A and B are shown apart, each in its own frame.
Chain A
């Protein structure tokens, strides 16, 4: 299967700061990547679909000005949580499509906002 990496794996920041999370496809080109958020003991919630070279498509209820997504190349998508607050603390996971319609997930980034 495809390999997707994320960086950082864990981040702790102060309230009001911005945090950037990188998602890379290591062995394939990904025109589309997906960003999910997962709160403890809950399932994955799709935040946005990241499209290479164009604007991301955000799900209803997700603030595009707060969660900035940039998909500047076929192997890299970034999610920036701007002016983070404690309620933004969560597990953020990216994924990319495989050839067989499945999605391959990155290892996730655990964000803690103090």
Chain B
């Protein structure tokens, strides 16, 4: 079967660094995506990892370890606007996505 796990909620302080972890078990794995979703809005694409290692994009970085079935999203210099849900999604061949439950991040002043 397919299973993706993330922490349900996290809290961090403005200006800090936060790491959101994601573990997955899926057949035909073809990449790990991270999306940001503000309440009442559709998800927006943040990052995509298909090979092991770290992908850096501005304040956001994403890491993947295929052997461990593990990924994390790293957010630096947190801003209030970063308060949102962060969804990890595993893509399999055929491009079906399986989404994790999402992590609701609250950034406090």
The yes or no verdict on A and B being binding partners is yes
The interface centre, meaning the residue of A44, A45, A101 with most chain B CB atoms within 10 A of its CB, is A44
Q: Name the one of B42, B98, B104 contacting A106, with C-beta atoms under 8 angstroms.
A: B42
Q: List 27 A-B contacts (CB under 8 A).
A: A32-B95, A41-B104, A43-B87, A43-B99, A43-B102, A44-B43, A44-B87, A45-B99, A46-B97, A46-B99, A49-B96, A93-B42, A93-B43, A97-B95, A100-B48, A101-B50, A102-B33, A103-B33, A103-B45, A104-B45, A105-B35, A105-B42, A105-B43, A105-B44, A107-B41, A107-B42, A108-B42
Interface on chain B toward A: helix, strand, loop, or mixed SS?
A: strand
Interface residue tally for chain A (C-beta within 8 Å)? 23
Q: Name the one of B31, B35, B87, B96 contacting A46, with C-beta atoms under 8 angstroms.
A: B96
Chain A residues near B99 (CB, 8 Å)? 43-46
B78 adjacent to chain A (CB < 8 Å): no
Q: Name the one of A34, A44, A101 contacting B30, with C-beta atoms under 8 angstroms.
A: A101
A61 adjacent to chain B (CB < 8 Å): no
Total A-B Cβ pairs within 8 A: 50
As a 0/1 sequence over residues 1 to 16 of chain A, the CB contacts with chain B under 8 angstroms (1 = contact) are 1000000000000000
B101 touches A1 (CB 8 A): no
B87 touches A101 (CB 8 A): no
Interface residue tally for chain B (C-beta within 8 Å)? 23
Chain B residues near A54 (CB, 8 Å)? none
The residues of A with any CB-CB pair to B shorter than 8 Å are: 1, 32, 34, 41-46, 49, 91, 93, 97, 100-108, 110
Chain A residues near B100 (CB, 8 Å)? 43
B95 touches A43 (CB 8 A): no
Known: A43-B101, A104-B45, A105-B43. 15 other contacts (CB 8 A): A34-B97, A42-B102, A43-B99, A44-B87, A45-B99, A101-B31, A101-B48, A101-B95, A102-B33, A102-B48, A103-B97, A105-B35, A106-B42, A108-B40, A108-B42
The interface centre, meaning the residue of A41, A97, A107 with most chain B CB atoms within 10 A of its CB, is A41
The residue of chain B having its C-beta at the shortest distance from the C-beta of A42 within the complex is B101
Chain B residues near A104 (CB, 8 Å)? 45
